[in-house]
């Protein structure tokens, strides 16, 4: 808040470590908007017991998201179960898992935001890799685009997508799929940059302006589709930004948000 940042997207491990109720109170006391809760999903499993455990955990994540007032819960699909090569089967498990979770999310008033991850994570993290695949799931599972109760300024579908530039910037269908999502299904917008020489596939994201993504162009597509939510800076960077003083990182994020987003 000192830096003028008014939204936050907390991760589950941190909220759980603090205690869900206490974390919710701290966030409310600080006057922060919880843009989204990161993250749940990871549906595929090798057997029925594993799938049931994943679903139970996802239901708990919905409850935690509701308790901290999150505007959405981010879902990543999950990859191949151990020993499996059946990516189509994994995709069906994701479909069935979200179908089973959706009624609980509707009851709790927490929209589910499917975040497609870059195809390099298809085996181990997420077999939903493009915005098109994520929207196909939305259309299959919630064709009517049910809204969440509560009446926000911004209409939100109960099932939508999180657009993270790191994962989708390369996609030739991106503009068309953002338009297809529309403002109801666009639940979150994550920004960072793609470094041409990426040294680590997970933790070497670039600061906005340091890489090759045409960020203002994509932001304009998202806004043209009607999105009025936050741009959330998400920079996993154990090789660089996580090593720097927090004040420097925040100052740079804010400055780059003005000049490069
Ligand atoms: Zn993200």
pLDDT digits (tens, 9 = 90+) for 35-90: 889 999 999 999 999 999 999 999 999 999 999 999 999 999 999 999 999 999 99
Q: Where are the beta strands (DSSP E) in 90-209?
A: 112-114, 159-164, 186-191
At 90 the pLDDT is 98
Cα gap 254→14, rounded to integer Å: 23
At 147 the pLDDT is 77
Single pTM value for the model: 0.94
Ligand 1 center to 66 CA (angstroms):
20
Ligand 1 center to 45 CA (angstroms):
23
Cα gap 118→122, rounded to integer Å: 7
Ligand 1 center to 42 CA (angstroms):
15
- Of 41, 173, 18, whose CA–CA distance to 94 is shortest? 41
Ligand 1 center to 117 CA (angstroms):
8
CATH fold of 7-260 reads: TIM Barrel (3.20.20)
- What DSSP letter does each residue of 146-164 carry, written as one string? PBPTT--SS--BSEEEEEE
Ligand 1 center to 131 CA (angstroms):
13
Task: Lay out the sheet containing 186-191: strands in order across.
Answer: 37-41, 73-76, 112-114, 159-164, 186-191, 231-233
Residues of the chain with pLDDT below 50 are 151, 153
Ligand 1 center to 234 CA (angstroms):
6
Q: What is the dihedral of CA 113, 78, 168, 229, to 10 degrees?
A: 20
Domain boundaries, the chain: 7-260
CA 201 → CA 67, 194, 204, distances in Å?
33, 10, 7
Residue 239's φ and ψ, nearest 5 degrees, are: -85, -15
Ligand 1 center to 188 CA (angstroms):
9
Ligand 1 center to 28 CA (angstroms):
23
Ligand 1 center to 190 CA (angstroms):
5
Q: Are 180 and 134 in contact (CB under 8 A)?
A: no
At 153 the pLDDT is 45
CB count, 10 Å around CB of 71? 24
Ligand 1 center to 71 CA (angstroms):
15
> pLDDT tens across 17-35, in order?
999 999 999 998 998 989 8
Ligand 1 center to 61 CA (angstroms):
17
Ligand 1 center to 53 CA (angstroms):
24
Q: Are 157 and 183 in contact (CB under 8 A)?
A: no
- Of 141, 144, 42, 130, whose CA–CA distance to 94 is shortest? 42
Burial classification of residue 114, based on how many CB atoms lie within 10 Å of its CB (0-12 exposed, 13-18 middle, 19 or more buried): buried
Ligand 1 center to 74 CA (angstroms):
8
């Amino acid at each position: 808040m000192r830096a003028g940042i008014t939204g936050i997207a907390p991760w589950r491990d941190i909220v759980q470590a603090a205690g869900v109720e206490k974390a919710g109170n701290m966030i409310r006391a600080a006057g922060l908007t919880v843009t989204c809760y990161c993250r749940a999903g990871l549906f595929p499993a090798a057997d029925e017991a594993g799938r049931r455990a994943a679903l139970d955990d996802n239901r708990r994540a919905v409850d935690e998201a509701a308790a901290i007032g999150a505007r959405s819960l981010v879902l990543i699909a999950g990859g191949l179960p151990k020993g499996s090569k059946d990516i189509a089967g994994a995709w069906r498990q994701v479909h069935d898992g979200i179908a089973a979770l959706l009624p609980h999310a509707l009851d709790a008033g927490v929209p589910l935001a499917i975040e497609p991850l870059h195809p390099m994570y298809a085996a181990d993290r997420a077999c939903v890799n493009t915005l098109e695949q994520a929207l196909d799931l939305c259309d299959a599972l919630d064709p009517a685009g049910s809204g969440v109760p509560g009446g926000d300024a911004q209409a939100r579908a109960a099932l939508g997508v999180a657009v993270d530039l790191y994962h989708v910037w390369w996609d030739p269908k991106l503009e068309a799929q953002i338009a297809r999502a529309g403002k109801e299904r666009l639940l979150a917008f994550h920004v960072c940059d793609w470094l041409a020489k990426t040294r680590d596939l997970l933790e070497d994201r670039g600061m906005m302006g340091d890489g090759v993504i045409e960020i203002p162009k994509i932001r304009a597509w998202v806004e043209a589709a009607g999105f009025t939510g936050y741009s959330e800076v998400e920079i996993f960077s154990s090789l660089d930004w996580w090593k720097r003083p927090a004040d420097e990182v925040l100052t740079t994020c804010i400055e780059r948000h003005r000049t490069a987003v």
